[in-house]
Chain A
Amino acid sequence: MEKMPRWADVILIPVISLLLAAIISALVILAIGENPWEAVKLMVSGALGSTYGWGYTLYYTTNFIFTGLAFAIAFHARLFNIGAEGQATLGGLGVAIVCLYIPWPHWTLALVGAMLGGAVFGALWAWLPAYLQAKRGSHIVITTIMFNFIAAAVLNYMLVNVLKPQGAQDPATGPFPANTHLPTFQDMFSTAETALFRGAPVNVTFFVAIAACFALWALIWRTRLGYQIRAHGHSETAGHYAGISATKMIVVAMLLSGGLAGMMAINNVMGEAERLVLNAVEGAGFIGIAVALMGRNHPFGVFIAALLFGFLYQGGAELALWTDIPRELIVVIQALVILFTGALDNMVRMPLEKFFVARAKRREAASVSPAAAE
């Protein structure tokens, strides 16, 4: 028997969890002596009130779609990939190398090359933890955490000792060549009279991210590989019985996950900064966890959740600019979303399940009793 209708599982529970997170965030804002309603208004006008605001919101959204999808695909194989941060860091390295050392004739080709570069580097960084999990049984959560720190050290070393231009002070690569410049929304949508998205970093990779959502949806629910990954995730023993190799599933899911996380770099490194700097990922890898949890690991849900977090990030930046509320408030909100939609899921689910079961019983009783009376 179904405990709950599907809509309650897919929509009601995330919405209630989100409301709880919002209420506590509001209490935090109240506690530090600011007005939550004013804060929300400021966030909405800052993030959605202009094409400039939208330009930043969608830029962050693009990052979070990639890392959210990365977490989601690994989670379908019941792997907890906490290492998107490191994989995206290495992806940045891949993108930077592709952009700096290959003379691209046109940005379209450069984009394809950079996507490959980022994906390959990110996937490689996910491969070793996956291999160790599959073959040596070392827990993937711990290894991917460790790999995040190792990735930061690798990037630091590469920037300081290898990629930094001669004589430069800060640990960063030189600017990428002009032919790798990706068209921003400003380039694409502004007309001679009206400048739209002026100065905002959102660029053509937003569409790549949306394409990635569709591609991943098709992969998970419309291909044999996706079926195998899900089967393995639901029950490793059942998958094994059906001839699905656990080793292969772990490695493939993690390669896909790392590849997606690495591809994020075409947005933040190639699209926005147009050079590689230290800590280019800025925690987007971890936000992917919140995004995927909220989006119930479905690409469409990930898109919606990424949009919400894009709004929170841009709104939070505006908030920090105009009020005394620091940017870290967003980290608090992010933590609450992870807490309520992820860890405290049962707190919302258990009472709801009871409610729906009781309602179903009452209905049954109501439909049976007239018949019994006859």
Chain B
Amino acid sequence: MDLLTVFQILDSTVRLATPLLLACLAGLFSERSGIFDIGLEGKMLAAAFMSAAIAAVTGSVWLGLLAGTGASLLMAGIHGAASITFRGNQLISGVAINFLAAGLTVVVAQSWFGQGGRTPQLMGGGRFEPITLPFALGPADAEEAGRPLSELIAEAGMFQQLYSELISGHSILVYVALLAVPLSWWVLFRTRFGLRLRAVGENPAAVDTAGISVIRLRFVAVAICGMLCGIAGAYLATGLQAGFTKDMTAGRGFIALAALIFAKWRPWAALGACLLFGFLQAVALRYQNIELGEFVVPVQFMDALPYILTVVILAGFVGKAIPPRAGGEPYVKER
């Protein structure tokens, strides 16, 4: 295995980690405020469909992103109404949202486009195009030389390979997701809003006593969660792939949930966990069965590894994962 192959795998790691990271940060805001969210998957799926559908109809990927985020926010609104206003079971609400998105996206896609529950293939302005950073080899260089980009990169020096293959050439949402990590950290741990948000997930009664609305704080957190899930879904359908297909999230919402637990509800650790799980996906995508000398690691094991790791972490064998204390409990103001 040469260095370029390593860079290629890492490059695909970053791409695959991006939706996980956005969804993971989404879950971070929601769960830190005390609202468990197993509906990340559904919100992403709804956003993936709406973004692809609107991008296909209007030809503008930015309108698609807006519509996708709107769809995800609507789902988040249902979750908020069920779990905050009506003090329902947050887990049941999350399950319902996952099914609602899985069903509605296909039903609407079928009646809208009539292509068996998918949207038309997105082209040109309907997709987020890769961005070529300054001094990196990009499609423009390839066109000038009249050869494929991969050949040019293969011939370049090591640092140029690293820069062009791994760092440059992603769509803008990848960079947005990476920037969202320090931003989330700053918001949660360096602002008054963040302090209150974390407090409301640990001890809502204390926050209420201080004269701050628990309900409003939690709704804001759920809305941030919806927005980030929306970007994650839009990236799936308009950046990573070119259009919506049935069930295209394929469990990513649950892997993001796993990453959130793996990261023990912290933003920087979330980046690490998502990159790790993205790496596992990238390796499983590139190689079928991995041979380690005598022993063959089956591809199914690679698929299951994120889930197995999460169970191990949850079991507390490698450090203890303690969720926000008021998580999952509806807040009843004393009367």
On A, residues with C-beta under 8 Å from B are 28, 32-33, 80, 82, 128, 132, 136-139, 141-143, 145-147, 149-150, 153-154, 156-157, 160-161, 286, 289, 293, 324-326, 328-336, 338-339, 342-347, 350
Contacts and interface: CB of A to CB of B under 8 A. Distances in A.
B91 A82 contact: yes
Given A82-B38, A332-B100, A339-B97, 6 more contacts: A32-B108, A137-B316, A335-B100, A338-B99, A339-B78, A345-B86
Nearest to A337: B96
Q: Specify which of B92, B98, B104 lies most central, judged by the most chain A CB atoms within 10 Å of its CB.
A: B92
21 contacts: A32-B107, A132-B311, A136-B315, A136-B316, A138-B314, A153-B300, A153-B301, A153-B303, A156-B300, A160-B300, A324-B114, A328-B103, A331-B102, A334-B99, A335-B97, A338-B96, A339-B97, A342-B95, A342-B96, A343-B82, A346-B87
Interface in B75-130: 78, 81-83, 86-93, 95-100, 102-104, 106-108, 110-111, 114, 117
A146 B103 contact: no
B270 interface: no
B88 A343 contact: yes
A157 B308 CA distance: 15
B303 A143 contact: no
A263 B276 CA distance: 37
A165 B81 CA distance: 52
A335 B39 CA distance: 12
Nearest 8 interchain pairs by C-beta: A331-B103, A335-B99, A343-B93, A332-B103, A32-B111, A138-B314, A342-B92, A153-B304
A289 B92 contact: yes
A137 B96 CA distance: 25
B323 interface: yes
B154 to A, nearest CB: 34
Contacts of A161: 298
Contacts of A141: 38, 91
B78 A346 contact: no
Nearest to A338: B96
B99 A331 contact: yes
Q: Specify which of A132, A153, A293 lies most central, judged by the most chain B CB atoms within 10 Å of its CB.
A: A153
A155 B311 CA distance: 19
Contact of A328 (B93, B98, B117, B261): B117
B82 A149 contact: no
Nearest to B93: A343
Contacts, number: 152
Nearest to B101: A335
A346 B86 contact: yes
B106 A326 contact: yes
Contact of B314 (A132, A153, A329): A132
Contact of A146 (B86, B99, B311): B311
B310 interface: yes
Given A132-B314, A141-B38, A344 B257 contact: no
Nearest to B255: A149
A138 B311 contact: yes
A220 to B, nearest CB: 21
B307 interface: yes
Contacts of A330: 103
B88 A344 contact: yes
Contacts of B97: 335, 339
Given A146-B311, A147-B311, A329 B103 contact: yes
A260 B89 CA distance: 24
A160 B303 CA distance: 15
B244 interface: no
B107 A332 contact: yes
Contact of B107 (A28, A154, A343, A346): A28
Nearest to A328: B106
B265 interface: no
A344 B86 contact: yes
Contacts of A345: 86, 88
A328 B109 CA distance: 11
Interface string B27-64: 00000000000100000000000000000000000000
A80 B38 CA distance: 13
B254 interface: yes
A127 B103 CA distance: 31
Contacts of A132: 311, 314-315
A335 B114 CA distance: 23
Contact of B104 (A28, A33, A160, A344): A28
A330 B99 CA distance: 10
Q: Specify which of A154, A326, A329, A336 lies most central, judged by the most chain B CB atoms within 10 Å of its CB.
A: A326
Contacts of A342: 88-89, 92-93, 95-96
Q: Specify which of A33, A143, A343 lies most central, judged by the most chain B CB atoms within 10 Å of its CB.
A: A343
Given A145-B257, A153-B304, A335-B99, A80 B91 contact: yes
A344 B82 contact: yes
B319 interface: no
Contact of B254 (A80, A149, A334): A149
A324 B111 CA distance: 8
Contacts of B148: none
Contact of B307 (A139, A150, A157): A150
A215 B14 CA distance: 53
Contact of B96 (A147, A329, A339): A339
Contacts of A324: 110-111, 114
Contacts of A149: 251, 254, 303-304, 307
B245 to A, nearest CB: 13
Interface in B269-324: 298, 300-301, 303-304, 307-308, 310-311, 314-316, 321, 323
